[in-house]
């Protein structure tokens, strides 16, 4: 736990992302994903980026987004109209969005931040055979490689429930990330982060 740092300000939140050139990618996993997603989206809006949120975990909170926007001097309409949210409920829908929906939206803008909330979560749905989930995950990874060439990518993945058999999708996803950060709960409303892997060079 000694590597954790307080996460109570915008500079602390964005510092891991600002260490690497734009566009680049960051994987954050652990606790507080609802807060971090809203903070990341507001951060992108404040910097004039087109912000595309893909919610694959059903955790995006527009009220939290408004609160984070106010911290950055943004009116509710500014953040709500400049953050585009797409919700997906199956791994098949997520793969289709990565390959078709995101490229279409990115073609319309110059600079964008794509926030993928719960990139691994849907691949733990046991209603889909494991072999199919693994195939779909590899397909999604190929699409994300293309997205990464056009936009900054921020992956936010909550911890898996203890009863879920870990298929290590997160390890595969980490190959796309320039930095990997673990987030944990701090005192009060604070958050803590731990840099797991820094950008090369």
**Domain chopping of the chain, boundaries:** 5-11+29-197
Tell me what the mean pLDDT of segment 131-143 comes to: 97
Q: What is the mean pLDDT of residues 124-150?
A: 95
Q: What are phi and psi for residue 75, nearest 5 degrees?
A: -75, 155
Percent residues over pLDDT 90 in the chain: 59
pLDDT for position 185:
60
Instruction: Compare 6 and 63 and report the one with higher pLDDT.
Output: 63
Top-confidence residue, 19 or 179: 179
Provide the CATH number for the domain formed by 5-11+29-197 in this structure: 3.40.50.300
Instruction: Tell me what pLDDT residue 14 has.
Output: 45
Cβ-Cβ contacts under 8 Å for 28 (sequence gap 6 or more): 16, 36, 154, 155, 156, 157, 180, 181, 182, 183, 193
Strand-pairing partners, residue 158, are 30
Compute how many other C-beta atoms are within 10 angstroms of the C-beta atom of residue 180. Answer: 21
Find the Cα–Cα–Cα–Cα dihedral 156, 16, 97, 82, rounded to 10°: 100
DSSP letter (8 states) at residue 89:
-
Average pLDDT estimate for 173-191: 71
**164: cis peptide before it, omega within 30°?**
no
Q: What's the pLDDT tens digit per position in 18-52? A: 544 555 788 888 888 888 899 889 989 998 999 99
Confidence of residue 168 (pLDDT cuts 50, 70, 90): confident
Q: Which two tokens stand for residue 93?
A: 């829908």
Does residue 192 register a pLDDT over 80? no
Residue-wise pLDDT for 58-99, tens only, equals 999 999 999 999 999 999 999 999 999 999 999 999 999 999
pLDDT at 136 over 50: yes
């Amino acid at each position: 736990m000694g590597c954790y740092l307080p996460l109570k300000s915008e500079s602390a939140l964005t510092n891991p992302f600002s260490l690497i050139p734009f566009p680049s990618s960051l994987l954050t996993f652990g606790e507080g994903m609802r807060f971090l997603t809203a903070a990341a989206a507001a951060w992108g809006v404040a910097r004039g980026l087109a912000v595309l949120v893909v919610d694959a975990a059903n955790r995006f909170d527009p009220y939290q987004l408004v609160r984070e926007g106010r911290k950055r001097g943004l009116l509710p309409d500014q953040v709500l109209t400049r953050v585009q949210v797409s919700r997906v409920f199956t791994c098949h829908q997520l793969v289709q969005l990565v390959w078709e929906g995101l490229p279409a939206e990115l073609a319309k803008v110059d600079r964008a931040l794509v926030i993928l909330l719960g990139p691994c979560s849907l691949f733990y749905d046991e209603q889909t055979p494991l072999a199919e989930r693994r195939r779909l995950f590899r397909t999604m990874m190929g699409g994300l490689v293309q997205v990464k060439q056009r936009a900054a990518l921020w992956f936010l993945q909550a911890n898996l429930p203890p009863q879920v058999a870990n298929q290590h999708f997160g390890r595969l996803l980490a190959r796309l990330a320039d930095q990997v950060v673990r987030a944990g709960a701090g005192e009060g409303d604070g958050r803590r982060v731990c840099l797991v892997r820094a950008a090369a060079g």
